[in-house]
């Protein structure tokens, strides 16, 4: 068991040992049938339910230590498990078991004039390293998604959640084993010093992809130090543009929802661009202010309502994750697109308009992972996209963009079927 690893093992040796075991388990996992993987996940979900008292007791130790160490209330809330939260975690595993397995899907097939038949077939990526902070549900979510897509996982959670994570993983692995999956397919990296994270980030050839899940400083560190490819989600500085031809009621409803439904998620709107010709600008700004949103505006936005505060240059590049909004008045579609090109983090941007040509230009010319017309940016979510779950929302440009779920955890190989062809 991981927790009995002597603390004296060098970080690189530890990561190499776990990764080697994980890769061997992944090779066996790759040969299991879809139904076997699904059954193992259901067994893991049941094991989580069976271990409720042990898991909650372990979590209580983490909470007590966190309180003693002065963790913030928000951190403690993220860390805390209760019967309802644990049941939701187990139910999510059952849910992942019902998702279609992408592995084996034939992406394309062609026959060459010489009779060779070429197919591209989806295969797992291999061993995925997940580096995350204090939320213990990530331990189980990430393990389930990796396993469903035929990958092994190496999980490195925050030290605040060490007891919770060990108890969750003990149950999860026991369930997997009962379902016929090698338990080493998902492993927890024991929490010792921070050098373990560095060893994971540089384990090229052992770990195939790193997924950082956490705040900006974690993601920035991972991106700076990684030698292994990273599937990263950086900022979500999302824009909504109210075009001159936007329906005022729709614009109002979308702006309120995009900013205020939940302010702390990456798909929350951070900047509202209002066309100078949009007729209900003052009404939208007033409604936001009335609901307790702080509004920081450019000169023309300040003129819309006396409660608007002047924005500074930094505001246009800030992800507030709070009930704060920057508002600029722009002259037409080109100015809106230019503002977004300059300040967006390429996560999610939306236009509200009844003009189909303006909508298509916006969708074509805005270069973000998700572009929307007449919808709230808060829909930027794997569940809302029908993906069943998500390992994260990628803001990089390669491999996968936007909400990443099972398909994003696969790659492909070329399969060539011949009848003795040699190359002339």
Residue with Cβ nearer its own copies (261 or 300): 261
C-alpha span between 188 and 349 (Å, rounded): 37
C-alpha span between 347 and 92 (Å, rounded): 25
Asked if 253 interacts with its own copies (CB under 8 A), we say: yes
The residue with tokens 């008045």 is 329
Compute CA distances 263 → 163, 256, 268, 302, 372, whole Å.
Answer: 30, 11, 6, 22, 19
How long, in residues, is the chain? 424
Among 76-84, 123-131, 292-300, 315-323, the segment contacting its own copies (CB under 8 A): 123-131
Strand-by-strand arrangement of the 127-132 sheet: 186-188, 152-156, 127-132, 209-213
H or E, element range at 218: helix 216-225
For its own copies, the binding residue among 18, 123, 167, 340 (CB under 8 A) is: 123
CB contact at 8 A, 185 and 23: no
C-alpha span between 119 and 111 (Å, rounded): 9
Asked if 13 interacts with its own copies (CB under 8 A), we say: no
| Beta bridge partners of residue 207, listed in sequence order | 204
Q: How far apart are the first and last CA of the chain?
A: 55
H or E, element range at 132: strand 127-132
Task: Please state the closest distance from residue 229 (CB atom) to its own copies, in A.
Answer: 5
Task: Please state the closest distance from residue 121 (CB atom) to its own copies, in A.
Answer: 8
Q: How far is CA 363 from the centre of its chain?
A: 23
CB contact at 8 A, 321 and 268: yes
In terms of C-beta density within 10 A (0-12 exposed, 13-18 middle, 19 or more buried), how is residue 103 classed? Answer: buried
Asked if 388 interacts with its own copies (CB under 8 A), we say: no
Beta-strand pair 117-124/106-111: antiparallel
Residue with Cβ nearer its own copies (85 or 399): 399
For its own copies, the binding residue among 35, 204, 220, 303 (CB under 8 A) is: 204
Asked if 396 interacts with its own copies (CB under 8 A), we say: yes
Residue with Cβ nearer its own copies (118 or 280): 118
Sequence-separated contacts (24+) of 334-337 with Cβ below 8 Å:
336/239, 336/241, 336/243, 336/273, 336/275, 336/362, 337/361, 337/362, 337/365, 337/366
Residues within window 26-45 making contact with its own copies, judged by CB under 8 A: 27, 30-31
For its own copies, the binding residue among 130, 369, 391, 405 (CB under 8 A) is: 369
User: Which x/- pattern, by CB under 8 A, does the window 97-116 give for its own copies?
Assistant: -------------x-x---x
* Other C-beta atoms lying within 10 Å of the C-beta of residue 334: 11
Residue with Cβ nearer its own copies (171 or 199): 199
H or E, element range at 193: none
Among 12-20, 94-102, 185-193, 252-260, the segment contacting its own copies (CB under 8 A): 252-260
Among 12-20, 121-129, 284-292, 322-330, the segment contacting its own copies (CB under 8 A): 121-129
Among 77-85, 170-178, 192-200, 201-209, the segment contacting its own copies (CB under 8 A): 201-209
Asked if 68 interacts with its own copies (CB under 8 A), we say: no
Residue with Cβ nearer its own copies (20 or 53): 20
Residues within window 216-245 making contact with its own copies, judged by CB under 8 A: 223-224, 227, 229
C-alpha span between 55 and 44 (Å, rounded): 14
Compute CA distances 17 → 161, 184, 206, 207, 211, whole Å.
Answer: 23, 11, 10, 12, 20
Residues within window 321-350 making contact with its own copies, judged by CB under 8 A: 341, 350
Asked if 399 interacts with its own copies (CB under 8 A), we say: yes
Asked if 4 interacts with its own copies (CB under 8 A), we say: no
Among 89-97, 189-197, 305-313, 416-424, the segment contacting its own copies (CB under 8 A): 416-424
Among 45-53, 164-172, 178-186, 384-392, the segment contacting its own copies (CB under 8 A): 384-392
Task: Please state the closest distance from residue 165 (CB atom) to its own copies, in A.
Answer: 27
Task: Please state the closest distance from residue 13 (CB atom) to its own copies, in A.
Answer: 21
Task: Please state the closest distance from residue 204 (CB atom) to its own copies, in A.
Answer: 8
| Beta bridge partners of residue 124, listed in sequence order | 410
For its own copies, the binding residue among 171, 370, 389, 406 (CB under 8 A) is: 370
Among 142-150, 183-191, 287-295, 357-365, the segment contacting its own copies (CB under 8 A): 357-365
Point out which residues bind its own copies (CB under 8 A). 27, 30-31, 110, 112, 116, 118, 123, 125-126, 204, 208-209, 223-224, 227, 229, 247, 250, 253-254, 256-258, 261, 341, 350, 359, 363-365, 367-376, 378-379, 384-386, 396-399, 401-403, 411-423
């Amino acid at each position: 068991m991981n927790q009995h690893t002597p603390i004296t093992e060098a970080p690189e040796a530890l990561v190499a040992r776990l990764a080697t075991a994980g890769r061997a388990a992944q090779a066996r996992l790759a040969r299991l049938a879809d139904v076997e993987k699904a059954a193992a996940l259901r067994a893991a979900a049941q094991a989580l339910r069976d271990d409720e008292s042990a898991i909650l007791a372990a979590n209580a130790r983490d909470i007590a230590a966190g309180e003693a160490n002065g963790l913030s209330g928000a951190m403690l809330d993220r860390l805390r498990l209760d019967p309802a939260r644990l049941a939701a975690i187990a139910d999510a595993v059952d849910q992942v078991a019902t998702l279609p397995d992408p592995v084996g899907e034939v992406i394309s097939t062609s026959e060459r004039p010489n009779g060779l038949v070429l197919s591209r077939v989806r295969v797992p990526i291999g061993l995925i390293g997940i580096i995350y902070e204090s939320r213990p549900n990530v331990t189980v979510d990430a393990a389930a998604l990796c396993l469903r897509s035929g990958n092994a996982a190496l999980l490195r959670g925050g030290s605040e959640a060490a007891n919770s994570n060990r108890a969750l993983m003990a149950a999860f692995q026991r369930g997997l084993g009962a379902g016929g999956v090698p338990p080493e397919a998902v492993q927890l990296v024991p929490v010792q010093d921070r050098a373990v994270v560095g060893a994971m980030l540089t384990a090229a050839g052992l770990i195939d992809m790193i997924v950082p899940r956490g705040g900006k400083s974690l993601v920035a560190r991972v991106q700076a130090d990684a030698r292994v490819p990273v599937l990263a989600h950086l900022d979500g500085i999302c824009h909504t543009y109210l075009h001159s031809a936007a329906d005022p009621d729709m614009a109002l409803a979308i702006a309120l929802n995009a900013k205020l439904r939940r302010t702390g998620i990456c798909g929350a709107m951070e900047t509202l661009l209002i066309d100078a010709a949009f007729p209900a600008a003052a009404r939208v700004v007033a409604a936001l202010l009335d609901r307790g949103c702080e509004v920081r505006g450019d000169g023309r936005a300040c003129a819309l309502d006396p409660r608007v505060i002047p924005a500074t240059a930094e505001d246009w590049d800030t992800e507030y994750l709070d009930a704060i909004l920057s508002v600029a008045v722009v002259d037409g579609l080109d100015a809106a697109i230019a503002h977004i090109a300059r300040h967006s983090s390429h996560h999610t941007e939306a236009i509200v308009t009844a003009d189909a040509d303006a909508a298509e230009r916006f969708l074509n010319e805005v270069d973000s992972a998700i572009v929307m017309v007449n919808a709230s940016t808060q829909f930027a979510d794997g569940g809302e996209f029908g993906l069943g779950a998500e390992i994260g929302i990628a803001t990089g440009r390669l491999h996968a963009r936007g909400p990443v779920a099972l398909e994003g955890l696969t790659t492909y190989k070329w399969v060539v079927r011949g009848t003795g062809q040699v190359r002339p």
